[in-house]
Each structure stands twice: as C-alpha cells, then as structure tokens.
Amino acid sequence: MRTGKVSFGGVVKEVCLAYVPEVKVDDYVIVHIGFALSIADPKEAQETLNYLQPMPT
C-alpha cells in the first residue's frame, strides 16, 4: 500500500495514497481518517489554510 507524509499545519502524519495514485510531492490533498481522498487545487487549498489560520485551537 502506497503511503506518504502529509503536513497538517506543521503536524506530520502518514496517510494512505491508494485513492490518489497520481499525487506528487507538494500537492495538496483532502484527507479523511488517514486516507488521501483527492488532490486539491493549490489556490483554493491556500485560501482555506489562510481562512483557518486565525482560528484558536
């Protein structure tokens, strides 16, 4: 099973890449319960990250 490391705001986790065999290093992916489900548009992904940044944890 193909896996890769994904950074979630600095927290790095290993996820399964079986559903996105075409994914490349530096791509943004949508992850759910340890599985990368799809590749995200870089511009939209960055806008989402910017939106979520000021949220308190």
Q: Which CATH number covers residue 43?
A: 2.30.30.140
45/34 Cα distance (integer angstroms) = 18
- Counting the structural domains of the chain, the total is 1
Whether 37 maps to a domain, the answer reads yes
Confirm whether 46 is domain-assigned. Answer: yes
- Contact (Cβ atoms closer than 8 angstroms) between residue 37 and residue 45: no
7-21 per-position pLDDT tens digit: 987 899 999 999 999
Per-residue confidence band for 44, with pLDDT thresholds at 50, 70 and 90: very high
Does residue 30 or residue 53 have the better pLDDT?
30
- The range of the structural domain enclosing residue 44 comes to 3-52
Q: Scanning the structure block, which residue is given the tokens 């890769």?
A: 4
Q: Is residue 7 situated within a structural domain?
A: yes
Phi, psi values for residue 33, rounded to 5°: 40, 45
Work out the percent of the chain whose per-residue pLDDT is above 70: 95
Residue 24 counted as domain residue: yes
13 falls within a domain: yes
Q: Is the pTM above the cut of 0.75?
A: yes
